[in-house]
Amino acid sequence: MVPLLTRRDFLKISAAGIAAAALPVPSVLGEPRKTGSFTWAGINDLHIKNRDCLPYISRVVAALNDNPAVSGVVVLGDLATMAQPEELRLAKEALKPLNKPCYILPGNHDIGPETEGALKRFNDIIGPEHWLLEWEHWTFLGFNSCVGAKSDVILPESEINWLRDQLISIDSERPLALFCHHPLNPHSKAYRIINGDEILDLFSHHALRLVSSGHWHGNQEESTAQHLFTTTACCSSTRDNFDKTAAKGYRLFHFGEDRADTEFVEVR
């Protein structure tokens, strides 16, 4: 089981820890609050191929750094295009100027068909493929939804068991945000994880409030009585959005006492 990290723990670990190895840990973040609101940002589907892709990512990073409301960033997969080590290294370089905590998950374009070897490369260059942390009064849980390079996936039993193991340590009344690459939106226009209902059922006795994914390049927001599901437009200069919209950028998540709201921010 991956140990649960509190915000204070995060400040103590080195940049080689659970965050991406190249990303700096801010020197001052202040003391964690037990209640109140805060904001994180999410980006996905960078699809970096070469250095020509980096200027756009640099503009996104600058926008995130310039936004004082943003406490941290999650990257929801597909940093690379063909799961090549050089692509991952370029992504790491592009994200290094972030001055906020950054947690990264793999996408199918980061893994490729050579699952085990490519996942090891992702771990070595970027960081862990799944993680668990506490931030303020919320729990953030990121898991690896990839099955090789497949776009349509059934989450393997090994990753389902990892999720079960994490839930043992999570306070069932603590609001929880779940992150992965492939969509879990009940009515996603495409690519929903085939056994998505089984995954969501794991959280039936926990206060799951937000489920955010990438993979489907487009802004989808779907709410139920308890949950907010999102996917986001791609954050890429090499790919287009599947919903035919032109706007690309990042998503903000505004976390309150027991719910999360969201908005999309375009970066040109």
Position 1 scores a pLDDT of 40
Average pLDDT over residues 251-262: 97
Q: Which of 19, 83, 69, 75 is nearest to 45 (CA)?
A: 75
DSSP 53: G
Position 5 scores a pLDDT of 52
Please tell me the distance from the alpha carbon of residue 222 to that of residue 231, in angstroms, as a whole number: 9
Position 117 scores a pLDDT of 86
| Residue pLDDT, tens place only, 137-170 | 999 999 999 999 999 999 999 999 999 999 999 9
Instruction: Band the pLDDT of 66: cuts 50, 70, 90.
Output: very high
Instruction: Band the pLDDT of 118: cuts 50, 70, 90.
Output: confident
Q: How far is CA 12 from CA 16, 80, 99, 236, 254, in A?
A: 11, 29, 16, 32, 25
Query: In this structure, what are the phi and psi dihedrals at residue 211, rounded to the nearest 5 degrees?
Result: -130, 115
Q: Which of 173, 168, 193, 182 is nearest to 216 (CA)?
A: 182
Instruction: Band the pLDDT of 21: cuts 50, 70, 90.
Output: very low
Structural domains of the chain sorted by starting position, each given as residue range(s) with its CATH number in brackets? 7-15+37-266 (3.60.21.10)
Whether pLDDT at 4 is above 70 = no
- Please state the pTM of the whole predicted model: 0.89
Position 35 scores a pLDDT of 57
Give the H/E segment covering residue 251: strand 249-255
Please tell me the distance from the alpha carbon of residue 263 to that of residue 255, in angstroms, as a whole number: 12
Instruction: Band the pLDDT of 11: cuts 50, 70, 90.
Output: very low
Instruction: Band the pLDDT of 114: cuts 50, 70, 90.
Output: confident
SS (H, E, C) 160-225: HHHHHHHHHCCCCCCCEEEECCCCCCCCCCCCCCCCHHHHHHCCCCCCEEEEECCCCCCCEEEECC
What letter represents residue 74's amino acid? V
Please tell me the distance from the alpha carbon of residue 228 to that of residue 111, in angstroms, as a whole number: 27
**pLDDT > 70 in the chain, percent:** 87
Q: Which of 31-35, 85-89, 121-125, 165-169 has the lowest mean pLDDT?
A: 31-35
Whether pLDDT at 185 is above 70 = yes
Contacts of 150 (CB under 8 A, 6+ apart): 108
